[in-house]
Amino acid sequence: MDTVTVLGLVAGSLTTLSFAPQVARAWRTGSTADLSLLMLVVFLAGVLLWLAYGVVRADPAIIAANAVTAALIGLLLSLKQKNG
Amino acid sequence: MDTVTVLGLVAGSLTTLSFAPQVARAWRTGSTADLSLLMLVVFLAGVLLWLAYGVVRADPAIIAANAVTAALIGLLLSLKQKNG
């Protein structure tokens, strides 16, 4: 694997894993009032398009990062729907 | 500009602009308690690495999206520091 792909995988790991503490916090506190619903919806739409972009470019870093991110944002969205 | 670059630019516009309503909400309410500080810090680190990745790959969609995202996350981070 070339160095640039590794850079992309590290970048993708960070932006993706960053949502884990956010999901954990929302789960623990049951409070999501400060999260913007519009942010979550638009971000999810963008992440799904990035996933398509990664597939077309055959770019494993972009595919992996955005698949996991989409799942975490979906979780946040359901917590936001539940808690307001 | 080819179709795939346009797809990437649309994807980048969505994931980037999604943070605008989040910044607006945090600004208006002065409340950022539900935002995870760890999320913001790790996400910003990841976005800066994506920016480097875009530069190395000479990919205008990735560069543009991550430069603006970094600025918006920086703003959110300063609001979080101020409001807790």
Percent of chain A with pLDDT over 70: 100
| Separation between Cα atoms, residue B55 and residue A13, nearest integer Å | 18
For B20-69, the pLDDT digits (tens) are 999 999 999 999 999 999 999 999 999 999 999 999 999 888 898 899 99
Task: For chains A and B, count residue pairs whose Cβ atoms are closer than 8 Å.
Answer: 122
Give the mutation candidate from B29, B31, B53, B66 for the A interface (greatest A CB count, under 10 A).
B53
Q: How far is CA B59 from CA A16, A52, A57, B15, B83, in A?
A: 20, 16, 11, 16, 36
Angle between helices A3-17 and A19-29 (to 10 degrees): 10
Q: Which of A41, A28, A45, A46 is nearest to A83 (CA)?
A: A28
Return the half-sphere exposure (C-beta side, CA atoms, 13 A cut-off) of residue A15: 29
pLDDT at B60: 85
Ranges in chain A, pLDDT < 70: none
Q: Which of A:24-63 have CB within 8 Å of B?
A: 24-26, 29, 31-36, 38-43, 45-47, 49-50, 52-53, 56-57, 61
Tokens representing B71? 């600025």
Q: What is the ipTM of this complex?
A: 0.87
Residue ranges of domains in chain A, CATH in brackets: 3-83 (1.20.1280.290)
Q: Is the predicted pLDDT of residue B84 greater than 90, yes or no?
A: no
